[in-house]
Amino acid sequence: MTFFQQLKAAAQTEWVAYTEHPFTNAMADGTLPQAAFRHYLVQDYLFLIEFARAYALAVYKSPSLADMREAADGISAIVDVEMQLHVKLCGEWGLSPDTLERAPAAPEMLAYTRYVLDAGMRGDLLSLKVALAPCVIGYAEIAARLAQKPGALDASNPYRVWIGEYAGSAYQAIAAKAVAALDNLKSRYATSARQAELVAIFSEATRLEAEFWEMGWRIGREK
């Protein structure tokens, strides 16, 4: 069992609430209100900016050059690849880069990103990567599950691009690399005394990710 699997098992209630949230299931069958997804897209763009800052913190927290290179690769992947793909997807939904950058940050977005940065500031690189794991690895798991649902990738489903992007081999490889990186860090820095602390970080980060979905889901019900 990988360290990620151990964390997931210890936070099973939170993990299921996050990865099987109604928002995600509604993307698969195409019933998610478009206002909900549009709001999510805007906040996710702002989230990616904060996520890049978290990886910048990972560079600072890295005890070795290899760790620094890995964190720097993460920044590049977010800023140079994922954000550009996100802008393209947002454009298809009528959201311009200017609209995205001028949007006010939702409390749910701030809560999660501030928590991740705080966990990294207070702890070491392992603490930071544990806080990042629900997003990095969770999106891969969610999309892989959704992609198996009938009609999820059909041309008629407006959310097929999102599902296909995160279920695709490129992102799945990123998630697999993150799982391996957690194992590597655990072997170097985790102790039995830290287990409860790391589970607590993972559980809270996962809960806050579920709140991110709930934010969009609530918007959809209000429209």
Kindly list the catalytic residues: 135, 209
Tell me the HSE value of 207 on the side-chain side, using a 13 A CA sphere.
10
Asked whether the CA dihedral 91, 146, 75, 111 is positive or negative, the reply is positive
Can you say how many angstroms the Cα of residue 37 is from the centroid of all Cα atoms in its chain? 16
| Three-state DSSP state, 63 | coil
| Three-state DSSP state, 79 | helix
For the chain, what is the radius of gyration of the CA atoms? 17
Distance CA 184, CA 87 (A): 33
